Amino acid sequence: MNHSSAHYIRIIASVGLLFGAAAVLSCRKQPASPADHIPVYGYRVVRQIPHNPSFWTQGLVFDGGFLYEGTGEYGNSGIFKIAPSSGQVLQSRTLESKYFGEGITIFENRLIQLTWKSDIGFVYDKESFALLKTFQYPTEGWGLTHNGRELILSDGTDTLYFLDPQTFAVTSQIKVTAAGRPVTQLNELEFVDGRILANLWQSDRIAQIDPDTGAVVAWIDLTGLLDSIATDKPVDVLNGIARNPKTGRLLVTGKLWPTLFEIELVTNPPPKRP
């Protein structure tokens, strides 16, 4: 082997070592980017309100000093007007047993209710609960809220749909992501201070979502919320978000929960109880 050949081989070997080192480095976990650091809020319980433990909660709205709740399950679905001080049901209307009720919202003087797999929604007069009309939509119905101009609908995927409140046609949609990753299981919705709040089904978290980009800008962690409540009956997942406009606090509950909680958000968990 002549010197020029040996020199050439040494160059090739050096390049190979460099590429190998680069490959090892690329396989190592890189430091988290700033986008991964999404704020997480805890909570402080301010008040507890009795909640009907037979309600399969699908939607919760605070309007005009009253709570409105939509419930699910075939044969048990309905809409209810509730006194927020006591949890007493003041008014109700049930769905036919072939419908599984889902999210609700109040837009102007109308209460609007989704159903799960029937692709049909119901529009009621808010005061009398009289049925005004029905409408259809192209997905499953899970959660429902509005931003003052459009209805916002979830279907359990990472997509949120914006609907015209008069024609109920889909006008736009966004994909929800956290640090660039899709967020699915979006369930009950509430629009608060320019953000969409969404329960994540089978989770103790609520996502705060930018309605323009779909990015999760904060999480609300409600872990342990029901731990202090003694119950010998089965309960299911957290579901139900309403905002009291007078206090700015959130009201939250869950399916079959015996209690509805009024909470304040805190930046330093763990939660403190009164």
Q: Are residues 86 and 212 in the same domain?
A: yes
Residue 157, beta-bridge partner list: none
Q: Are residues 94 and 229 in the same domain?
A: yes
Within a domain: residue 12? yes
Within a domain: residue 273? no
Q: Is the dihedral of CA 58, 108, 244, 139 positive or negative?
A: positive
Q: Are residues 155 and 118 in the same domain?
A: yes
- How many domains is the chain built from? 2
Q: Are residues 3 and 41 in the same domain?
A: no
Q: Which residues of the chain have pLDDT under 70?
A: 1-36, 230, 232, 268-274
Q: Are residues 65 and 199 in the same domain?
A: yes
Q: Are residues 167 and 57 in the same domain?
A: yes
Expressed as residue numbers, the domain containing 78 is 32-266
Residue 22's pLDDT is what? 38
Looking at every residue in the chain, the average pLDDT score rounds to: 86
Assign residue 61 the CATH number of its domain.
2.120.10.30
Residues in the chain: 274
pTM confidence score? 0.82
Q: Are residues 114 and 139 in the same domain?
A: yes
Give the DSSP per-residue string, the chain. --HHHHHHHHHHHHHHHHHHHHHHHHHSPPPPPGGG---EEEEEEEEEEE--TT--EEEEEEETTEEEEEE-STTT-EEEEE-TTT--EEEEEEPPTT--EEEEEEETTEEEEEESSS-EEEEEETTT--EEEEEE-SS----EEE-SSSEEEE-SSSEEEEE-TTT--EEEEEE-EETTEE---EEEEEEETTEEEEEETTSSEEEEE-TTT-BEEEEEE-TTTTTTS--SS----EEEEEE-TTT--EEEEETT-SEEEEEEEESSPSPB--
Q: Are residues 12 and 89 in the same domain?
A: no
Within a domain: residue 161? yes
Q: What are phi and psi of 24, to 5 degrees?
A: -65, -45
Within a domain: residue 271? no
Q: Are residues 19 and 41 in the same domain?
A: no
